[in-house]
Structure 1
């Protein structure tokens, strides 16, 4: 099976058009997921929030509501809090990641086992204590390792990041559940947090990339058309009839227009027509001889 030459060796305009199509596809995909998230947030506001469960008994499939909303009761382990860069709704942010322990860690046999994490995006120049006071709700009880609170927020999908954090905590001599839930707490009331649709830089990036690809494709196609036109004109200039010494019928066929090539090779005294009318026309001048 053979492919066309254009497919085997794509030109630069073809590659630009392909990149434009891919960026447009990315823009449509990100727009689709953004619309899905906005619809889920509106629907979640019409329903009651999910029931609060202990971080030990948390099951993602069972305890996650619409718009990935969760409500978890846990003990905050502030001594193992860490700062890490991460992607959050298409934006690169620095976040404070705080481990979550069992709320009854004072009586549990695995008192120091880390079951999950809360993620707090940091503002510029903000300290860890300021971020905790800004986001965390009121303390219900004071546990062995930190305050016991009920966190209402959204569950993030960062399993690889959770695994890397668990490995890092293991180097510090603490055990952690691999791929534990990562909770982004609501800032302020639930209704205000769900009504705020996060801005995605990915969608804006794909939009500008699509516009740039369309412009580049148009310029490259025009340039390719101009180059092909110049090549045809230069080929015609090189093969003009008066620029060559035509010594054969084959050479004449190469440089004479098609309408004149029909008469090349014919004898001027020989009529090419045939049939009874042609025979009568040839013998009519001989009738008086």
Structure 2
């Protein structure tokens, strides 16, 4: 398997590459005309993208220089102390990455759902949902408070799982690629989206989640693998995605609603 340093170094270029491809797809064949009513559509779109990407860069720097060392120290301690499910269950090396991907993504589902149910968390997470022109750059739009809380909450999870930097880096690369994909302002043929969403989160599923309608916001919390919503019975499709309105309405602006 690729070493952790190499894998971690892929995250930024992979993210930029995927975002560039999806941004081009959105430009050539947008699913919704998000900026059509703006006086200067391209200027508005670029300003929107710059804002979201700027937020993402600042958050990425905070993680790199504020939390990464803590995560690494936690994983090294767990390995030395023999702590974590991977050690306790003696998972074979060739299966470790599969177990880690599943466990980390299950935690991501749970954390996302908590952000919709706990008032304190929602006050940060609502920034992500406040984007009324959801596109690929929205994948970067997270409040610094949410990044801080999620990064700290991840520490005991990493210890409990007992994973290594290699598995964590692999999950991060896959996660952010899929997160950008399902935020993108693109539409797939029903049969393709249907096939993909048996495994991963697709644009259809996540457009529903970003709806201003509270009942739809309270669905499709998965980030990488889509089956957590089916297991937890929070899976929902929309009969007509072109009618979905993105954003946060006044009533749900300050309080959670799940």
After TM superposition, the score normalised by the length of structure 2 is: 0.22
Larger radius of gyration: 1
Structure with the bigger percentage of strand:
1
Higher helix share: 2
TM-score (norm: length of structure 1): 0.20
